[in-house]
Amino acid sequence: MSILITGAAGYIGSHTCVELLNRGEDIIALDNYVNSCSESLKRVKEITGRSFKEEECDIRDMAKLERIFTENDIDTVIHFAGLKAVGESCVIPLEYYDNNISGTVTMLEIMKKYNVKRLIFSSSATVYGDNKSPMTEDMPTGNVTNPYGRTKFFIEEMLKDLYVSDNDWSIAMLRYFNPIGAHESGRIGEDPNGIPNNLMPRITRIASGKPLDGGQTELTVYGDDYDTPDGTCIRDYIHVVDLAIGHVKAIDYVRNHRGVNAINLGTGKGYSVFELINTFEEATGVKVPYKILPRRMGDLADVYSSPEKAKKVLGFETERDLKKMCEDVWRWVKNNPNGYK
Ligand code: NAD
Ligand code: WQD
């Protein structure tokens, strides 16, 4: 039996492949490499000393999926594949709806056809919108302000409908908070295309002496006038290896329970932008010059998880602290100044 991993070559996918292989699972790594390259999978093999099948395939390509499901004995799908840039999703919403939503519908159709009814789906804390933190899974969702976030919300709704129609399904919708960090080996990590938008890759870019958009050599802190202790936004940063381990726990869960369940993957602790910058500087000894700019549109002051359901349902607790996240990401960036290229 194998676990099919869509989006396996990406940031979270590659780290999850490592944890699954280390646990002795057999995997099939599927990706169309729109935001990644096969070098990450080569390094997954090197880290784990294990081999696995790679399939270059778009999740909207029914004919290829048909072949993959015919040739392999797949028991569970972990579905990471999708486009994920919030800003870009406002510029090309149809591509986001097609890739993320149509792609997921195609995956679900093929799974149904081959009677593979265990699914772990990459959802996001973004579905909580402006609820008050700590975010709990029973809060209302859907008050999302961008097309990317709406794709996650719509897919969650679709998965709930699917379960209602057929109680044989076992679906975990994992709501990630802010994944950062890299594998301890320094061999795999986040490799964004072009100039990144997320805070941590922007910090490491400035720390490496590379400019951001418009040639600026200082980090931009978007707003220091929020109603938080130091005025900057608070987020729940989770080490990508902890996040990957959360998927291993979710595999055990979907193999033993039916139903559809939303589960947060976060630490339950929030850190401000200034706290992250300070911790990065302490952990690495590298200064991160910054300047304060006005607030970024759509940002919320305070977003952190309640990790209680993950603890209760999956037996999952994070182990890696913010300093470790900074140390590991810096090792990856220093060892791979051009990412996988
Ligand atoms: P990523 O871009 O590194 O990985 C996604 C992978 O999916 C890439 O390798 C890409 O090439 C592949 N892909 C995209 N469209 C595809 C398609 N049509 N067919 C086949 N492969 C396709 O992103 P990530 O950070 O690893 O995120 C993984 C998942 O987690 C995504 O669904 C993302 O929306 C979700 N998520 C990410 C974050 C985050 O901050 N990184 C937070 C919450 C949720
Ligand atoms: C974190 C904090 C910014 C850049 C996004 C998506 C979310 C999820 C994770 C996928 C915020 C501040 C940032 C900078 C800054 N992805 N910031 N200067 O916005 O919490 O979440 O990524 O699902 O859906 O919305 O993450 O890393 O962009 O920002 O001050 O140069 O850092 O204002 O408070 P965010 P982020």
pLDDT in tens, 40-53: 999 999 999 999 99
Q: 11, 96, 128, 148: which is the annotated catalytic residue?
A: 148
- Residue 263 β-bridge partners: 174
| Proximal ligand: closest to the CA of 201 | 2
| Proximal ligand: closest to the CA of 192 | 1
- Percent of the chain whose predicted confidence (pLDDT) is above 90: 98
Residue whose CB lies within 8 A of the most ligand 2 atoms, among 79, 86, 144, 322, for a mutation test: 86
Residue whose CB lies within 8 A of the most ligand 2 atoms, among 144, 177, 178, 304, for a mutation test: 178
Answer whether 316's CB lies under 8 Å from 305's CB: no
Examine the pLDDT at 86 and tell me if it is beyond 90.
yes
**Active site includes 114?**
no
Report residue 89's pLDDT band, with 50, 70 and 90 as the boundaries.
very high
74-100: average pLDDT? 98
Q: Identify the sign of the CA torsion 287, 291, 295, 296.
A: negative
239-246: average pLDDT? 99
Give which of 166, 152, 148, 37 is closest to 104, Cα–Cα: 152
Q: Would you give the end-to-end CA distance of the chain in angstroms?
A: 33
Give which of 50, 54, 340, 34 is closest to 188, Cα–Cα: 340
Examine the pLDDT at 214 and tell me if it is beyond 90.
no
23: tokens are 């646990």
d(CA 306, CA 177): 10
Answer whether 223's CB lies under 8 Å from 293's CB: yes
Measured torsion, CA atoms of residues 274, 205, 238, 261, in degrees rounded to the nearest 10: 120
